Amino acid sequence: MSKHTVSIDINGTTVTKEVDSRMLLVHFIREELQMTGTHIGCDTSSCGACTILMNGRSVKSCTLYTVQANGKSVKTIEGMEEGGALHPLQEGFHEEHGLQCGFCTPGMIMRAAELLEKNPNPSEEEIRWGISGNLCRCTGYVNIVKAIQYAAEKMQKEAA
Amino acid sequence: MGKYIGESVLRKEDPRLVTGEAKYLEDIQLSGMVHAVVKRSDYAHAKIKNIDTSEAEKVPGVIGVWTGKDFEDVNPMPCAWQAGGVDNNANTPRVLEIDKVTFTGQGVAVVVAEDRNIAEDASSKIVVDYEELPTVVSAEEAIKPGAPQLHENAPNNICMEWECGNQEGTEKALGEADVVVKEQLVNQRLIPSSMEPRGAIADYQPATEEFTVWMTSQAPHVHRLLATAFVFGIPETKMRVIAAHVGGGFGCKIFLYPEYCLVAALARKIERPVKWMETRSENFASTTHGRDHVTQIEVGAKNDGTINSLKVTTVANLGGTLSTIAPGIPTTLYGRLLSGTYKFPNIYCGVKGVYTNTGMVDAYRGAGRPEATYVVERALDLVANKLGMDVLDVRRKNFIQTNQFPYLPADGITKGLTYDSGDYEKPLNKALQMFNYGNFREEQKRARDEGKYLGVGFSTYIEACGVAPSAWIGVGGEGWGAGLWESANIRVHLTGKVVVTTGSSPHGQGTETTMAQIAADELGIPYEDVEVKYNDTLGTPFGYGTYGSRSAAVGGAALFNAVQKVKQKAVRIGAHMLEASPDDVVFEDGKVSVKGSPDQAKTIQEIAGAAALGYSLPEGDEPFLDETAYFDPPNTTWPFGTHICVVEVEKDTGSVMVKKYLAVDDVGNVVNPMIVDGQIHGGIAQGVAQALWESGEYNESGQLVSGSMMDYAIPRTDCLPSFELDRTVTPSPTNPLGVKGVGETGTIASTPAVVNAVMDALSPFGVTHLDMPLTSQKIWNAIQS
Amino acid sequence: MIPPSFEYLTPSNISDAVALLQKHGDEAKILAGGHSLIPAMRLRLAEPGYLIDISGIGGLDYIQEESGQLRIGAMTCEAALEESEIVQSKYPLLLDTAKMIADPSVRNMATVGGNLAHGDPANDHPATMLALRASVVAEGPNGTREIKIDDFFPDFFTTALAEDEILTEIRIPSPPSASGGAYLKIERKVGDYAAAAVACQLNIDSSGSIENIGLGLTNVGSTPIRASSAEELLKGKKPDENMLAEAGRLAAADSEPMEDLRGSAEYKRALVNELTQRAIKLSLQRAEGSR
């Protein structure tokens, strides 16, 4: 069959839709669900602008067919705010000027979310390795590293 | 200054960007919108004999398939900056090529379908019958006799030959020099690679014959002007151009591209909104590239290190056709910067702009100035090396001294523009406080004994920003086909809230924030009360857009002047409200008060309310506080500074690691230090990337072999160190804010610093020059031989 | 960019998957993590009519050490290798390799089985598995068979898997005490395919002599290459600098690199030479450390 019905938990809400087998997950999120915070920056899984969390792990949604996400939970940048407040990572990018044009930012934040989940207190080197699959052309990465450090600190304080 | 200018105010832009709410071009959906996919040439040089679209048309969901012949009534793209004072044999692209293609990736047909996937399927079914022609991809090869000829009007593939400076005097001085260093310097092709590719959406209203076109643009007003007046031959008032959120540009979104006009032509044809969004693969092939110079330099010096002459001849590859401002980049923006921060008494620069079967080359971050700075800063090191002198001693020997400002570089190289201010020792000395040069040299010696090869490189650069005086750069001068002033409008509404509109068109620079800082400080109101709007020809005053590090220095200055006009009117209205003479009141901290009686005051909000109501106004004054200013800079600005790079080269693999990078820049007054530092960070990253990794490469048949992010080496997070920054402040006398511009500084300065560092590391092997990118293989080869 | 339409099939067990392979022949492709296949499909370099997604088949995602073997389920993702305690404590070569593949988000999807079954000599696991003297388990219509890794890569982008076989498991002999391994890679930039890379796995006896050694080379030939001359040289020896240099030279001689964007053949040989020496040294250090 080239058409399939998928049920995917998107940011806490289960969505059921019929999709073409060839529909990429990023197109599903952007075009079927109208959530356009997840961006498309390349066609070779190189740039990370389309990074989302699937079952808690960061993945490049341009390199997954929607059908592969059937039955899974997906989190996008639109699901990061809690109770109207920015997630510490979103706040960190703002506070530390971790973004300029903003195109890579949602993907960066989603990737960093998993990084901090696994490693709540990363060193600069661990951050640089941890987000190495996400390209930014504007910032030279200096303030992105600081933004993630800001979030790590804030999240640790909140957890304490 | 005031409460906001000089402070790292957090960006107004960020909340919508960090939440994903911001709408970039691809995020925009219009009712009834259809999708276009462009069929592109697989050959770099070929005649189009026939295009069979019949199979594509049969694909269900396809609305239509068109070729170049269907758009013969649409003019080619204009070349809006032809090199000044010389003939330019201009050839520009059409919305779709009709007879011939001159580089791989040119559009030859277009499919419009109900969705993009269908359009893509159909595009793959178009059959183009080409007659292949011989190709040439190197500019040096293209000007040799017998090379394949691309355009009838450009014999030997030469678009233009341009020169500046004094050839005779420079030759003579070279003859009188104690030493002459000759070298070939290749400034390789780069691919800008903004994270958001290009795209456009057009909507057409047949009843009014009006277009609305959304495009990934750094200059919506310029795009509208060129598309209407030159391509479609319609009044510019019949088109509205909107740049949505733009995901980076670095120059490549300044230009009027065929696809931008193609979607407009299609929307008019089918009377439905049409969207086109390029893929990354298309972006590599069809969006403009940058640099691509092959340069011969001859530098003459006295034995004491005084440079007496610099002769530069450059062959600049412009690609298969001309992009919008291509000829201006390797001429005005390159040759006129060749004096650097130095008092070279004799300079000459000759440039040939050449067509080849490669993608179009135009402005990319720095645009001409990085190429010039690379020549100058490499030349200094080569001279030092030849004379066995320290690279800093040679720099200091040749620096323009503080008492020489304003300084007019020799031989008319700047065509009358003077370096209005500068103090080149200052950032160098500050950088040397951050970096202990003496210690480093000792460490370097010790490390070499242990088989570790460290190197340090300096770049004590200058650049010209805040482009540019209109009459100087315009058609009677340097050939730019318009003006280059900037505009701003400010309206203080009845509630005291302020809207600023600007002709600048930011796409990551944080201009919304810095403009708000300027307006808030000057009016003495809260920053939160200022909204800054831009990127839409409807509702912003005509302006030339964002590039050439001009938004603060030219656009910001226009805003400053507009605010002064508002203040003058506020003084008149405030005085009227206070029943005082305008001469007896002052505007301070957001209030107009009677001199000597600060309690007798009206706030700007009260005045704005009175102005908006218009019940009682001074005689001769109109209601409302609404003022526009246009600022034409009397000069460019001249930022300068010192960048220092430390590298370690691994002898056995040739790998280079950037161990340390520090920069002290003088960009004049700083409106927002956080934003300024961010611009420098990003600039440095791109400049380092040119030195070490990135290269746009074609094979002999004109196929782009670095045509994806897997093949074109954009640096990742783990390639770069954190940069250490500081600054000196020499305010620019050119504009009322004293700012200079900072968008391109990092890119312009950093490339030679890195290359100089690697050459320093390789000095034990007798290597004095290698061309970029300094890949491990190149270095390994050099060490081996 | 999007591929042409295809049928997406989700077998619930291996034998159903094998049956689908038999039914659709070379029109079908197995979809594991998809991080080689999907980019190729998007660029329309691969246009399979049927995709058989085996991610829904349970029991292919595990890392277990039992009866002298480390067994890795084919659908185990690279990130799971990085995070595995057993890999971290006993298989430094595997850990090095997993950390160098692409980037963290790709490693969350890309699988060890896929990395091998793709048959790409530029992939990293083939050389690693050569060094580890692994074998793979293939399941087909006639049941399962174990294929030695040395027999698994007969030619460029070709594996020993039959058209109707699926790679289900990788088996690695558990290292004896005093073992060490390392994977060293030179890339144009991190995460890129290797210009050249060397995998080393060895163990030493009480005197510090090498008992057994495996050396695998990445992206310096049409298939992954075992540096067997260097292995032979070092077996039973306690190498000094001269012998290491000789091992590097032999490994370089065993490589068959082609010139490409990543370097000339000569340069890649030089890298093999240097990286071989470094990988052996690091493995020896790690072996000493694991005593």
CATH code at B69? 3.90.1170.50
Give the whole-angstrom CA distance, residue C30 versus residue B275.
Answer: 35
Q: How far does A68 lie from chain C, in Å, by closest CA?
A: 8
| Contact check, Cβ <8 Å, B716/C103 | yes
- Using the beta-carbon criterion (under 8 Å), do A101 and B674 form an inter-chain contact? no
B653–C261 C-beta distance less than 8 A: no
Rounded to the nearest angstrom, the minimum Cα separation between C104 and chain A is 6
Q: How many angstroms separate the CA atoms of B514 and C277, rounded? A: 55
Distance between CA atoms of residues B221 and B239, nearest Å:
10
Residues in B closer than 8 angstroms to A103, CB to CB, are 24, 194-196, 247-248
- pTM (two decimals): 0.97
- A57 CB neighbours in chain C (<8 A) are 79, 108
Domain assignment present for B502: yes
Q: Would you tell me how many other CB atoms lie within 10 Å of the CB of residue C175?
A: 21
Q: Do B201 and B278 meet the contact criterion of CB atoms below 8 Å apart? A: no
**CATH number, position B779:** 3.30.365.10
pLDDT for C191: 65
- What is d(CA B144, CA B736) in angstroms, rounded to the nearest whole number? 50
Check residue B361 and report its DSSP letter.
B
B718 touches chain A (CB under 8 A): yes
pLDDT beyond 80 at A133? yes
Residues B613 and B489 in one domain: yes
For C7-53, CATH number out of 3.30.43.10, 3.30.420.40, 1.10.150.120, 3.40.50.300 equals 3.30.43.10
Closest residue by Cα to residue C108 from A130, B708, B109, B51 = A130
Q: Considering only the beta carbons, identify the residue of B120, B653, B713 that sits closest to C271.
A: B653
Q: Do A99 and B18 touch (CB under 8 A)?
A: yes
Where do you find CATH 3.30.390.50 in chain C?
Answer: 179-285
Beta bridge partners of C184: C198
Q: What pLDDT, on a 0 to 100 scale, did the predictor assign at position B595?
A: 96
Q: Topology of domain C67-173, per CATH?
A: 3.30.465
Average pLDDT, stretch B4-31?
98
Residues of chain C with pLDDT under 50: none
The CA-based angle B736-B737-B740, given to 5 degrees, is 110
Could you tell me if B640 and B706 lie in one domain?
A: yes
Distance of CA C270 to the CA centre of its chain: 22
Q: B673-692 vs A142-159: helix axis angle to the nearest 10?
A: 120
Whether residue B140 is contained in a domain is answered as no
Res B6 pLDDT > 70: yes
Determine contact: B687 vs chain A, CB below 8 A: no
Going by C-alpha positions, the residue among B711, B707, B664, B716 that lies closest to residue B689 is B716
Q: In chain A, which residues have their Cβ closer than 8 Å to the Cβ of B510?
A: 100
* pLDDT score recorded for residue A160: 84
- AA letter at B537: T
Q: Residues 651..680 of B with a Cβ closer than 8 Å to A: which? A: 674-675, 677-679
DSSP one-letter code for B349: E
Say whether both B116 and B236 belong to one domain.
Answer: yes
Q: Tens digits of per-residue pLDDT, A21-45?
A: 999 999 999 999 999 999 999 999 9
Give the pLDDT band of residue A1 (cuts 50, 70, 90).
Answer: low
Minimal-distance CA residue of chain C relative to A60: C105
Chain A contact for C4, CB < 8 A?
yes
Helix (H, G, I), strand (E, B) or coil at B397: helix
pLDDT for C260 equals 86
Q: How far is A50 from chain C (nearest CA, A)?
A: 11
| Cα torsion through C189, C192, C197, C203, rounded to 10 | 100
Please tell me what DSSP assigns to residue C151.
G
B37-90 pLDDT, tens per residue? 999 999 999 999 999 999 999 999 999 999 999 999 999 999 999 999 999 999
Residues B268 and B392 in one domain: no
Q: Do B717 and A22 touch (CB under 8 A)?
A: no
Same-domain status, B453 and B513: no
Q: Are strands B107-113 and B62-67 parallel, antiparallel or unpaired?
A: antiparallel
CATH 3.40.50.1980 is right for the domain spanning C179-285? no
Chain A residues touching C103 at Cβ < 8 A: 48, 132-134
Same domain, B662 and B746: yes
The answer to ipTM > 0.90 is yes
Q: B123-132, B140-149, B705-714: lowest mean pLDDT where?
A: B705-714
Q: In angstroms, what separates the C-alpha of C64 from chain A's closest C-alpha? A: 22
Q: CA B743, CA B678: separation in Å to the nearest integer?
A: 9
The answer to whether residue A76 neighbours chain C at the CB level (below 8 Å) is no
Tell me the pLDDT tens digit for each residue of C242-252. 999 999 999 99
Q: Are residues B748 and B668 in the same domain?
A: yes
B117 shares a domain with B215:
yes
Q: How far apart are CA B773 and CA C7, in angstroms?
A: 45
Domain boundaries for CATH 3.30.43.10 within chain C: 7-53
**B622 and B669 co-located in one domain:** no
Cα–Cα distance for residue pair A149/C105, rounded to 1 Å? 20
Query: Rounded distance, CA B546 to CA A104, Å?
Result: 21
SS3 state at B388: coil
> Does the structure show a pLDDT above 90 at A151?
yes
Residue B526 belongs to a domain: yes
Q: List Cβ neighbours of B12 (8 Å cut-off, separation of 6 or more).
A: B512, B513, B516, B532
User: Per the domain annotation, does B332 fall within a domain?
Assistant: no
Measured between beta carbons, the chain C residues lying within 8 angstroms of B718 are 190
Which chain C residues have a beta carbon less than 8 Å from that of A20? 5
Asked if residue B162 belongs to a domain, the reply is no
SS3 content of chain B, % helix, strand, coil (to 5): 30, 25, 40
Maximum CA extent, chain C = 62
Query: How many residues in chain C?
Result: 291
On whether the CB atoms of residues B73 and B269 are closer than 8 A, the answer is: no
Q: Which two tokens stand for residue B38?
A: 């462009």
Q: Please report where in the chains the tokens 């012949």 appear, as a residue.
A: B69
Residue with tokens 């072999």: B705
Chain C stretch 14-33, residues whose beta carbon is closer than 8 A to a beta carbon of chain A: 31
In a domain, B323, yes or no: no
Q: Judge whether B292 lies within some domain.
A: no
Give the separation between CA B278 and CA B284, rounded to whole angstroms: 10
CA gap B337, B463 in Å, rounded? 7
B627 in the same domain as B497: yes
pLDDT of residue B293: 98
For residue B133, the 8-state DSSP code is -
My answer on whether B644 and B623 are in the same domain is no
Q: What does residue B572 show for φ and ψ, rounded to 5 degrees?
A: -65, -45
Residue finishing a domain among B565, B596, B631: B631
Asked if B652 is an interface residue toward chain C (Cβ–Cβ < 8 A), one would say yes
Reported residue count of chain A is 160
Task: Name the segment(s) of chain C with CATH classification 3.30.465.10.
Answer: 67-173
If one counts every other C-beta atom within 10 angstroms of the C-beta of residue B184, the result is 11
pLDDT score at B2: 76
In this structure, are B558 and B587 located in the same domain? yes
Beta pairing partners, A51: A60
Q: Rounded distance, CA B774 to CA B687, Å?
A: 12
pLDDT, tens digit, 9 for 90 and up, residues C210-231: 999 999 999 999 999 999 999 9
Partner residue opposite A140 with nearest CB, options B195, B509, B682: B682
Cβ-Cβ contacts under 8 Å for B735 (sequence gap 6 or more): B466, B553, B554, B556, B557, B560, B631, B633, B637
Host domain of residue B65? 15-133+195-248+253-286
Q: Give the count of domains, chain B.
A: 3
Task: Give which of B107, B94, B98, B103 is closest to B69, Cα–Cα.
Answer: B98
Q: What is the mean pLDDT of chain B?
A: 97
* DSSP string for B583-622: GGEEEETTEEEETTEEEEEEEHHHHHHHHHH-SS--TTPP
Domains of chain A: 3-79 (3.10.20.30), 88-159 (1.10.150.120)
In eight-state DSSP terms, residue C88 is H
Record: contact C274-B653, CB cut-off 8 A: yes
B587 sits in the region (left: phi over 0; alpha: psi -120 to 50; else beta) called beta
Asked if the C-beta of B655 comes within 8 angstroms of chain C's C-beta atoms, the answer is: yes
User: DSSP code of B146?
Assistant: T
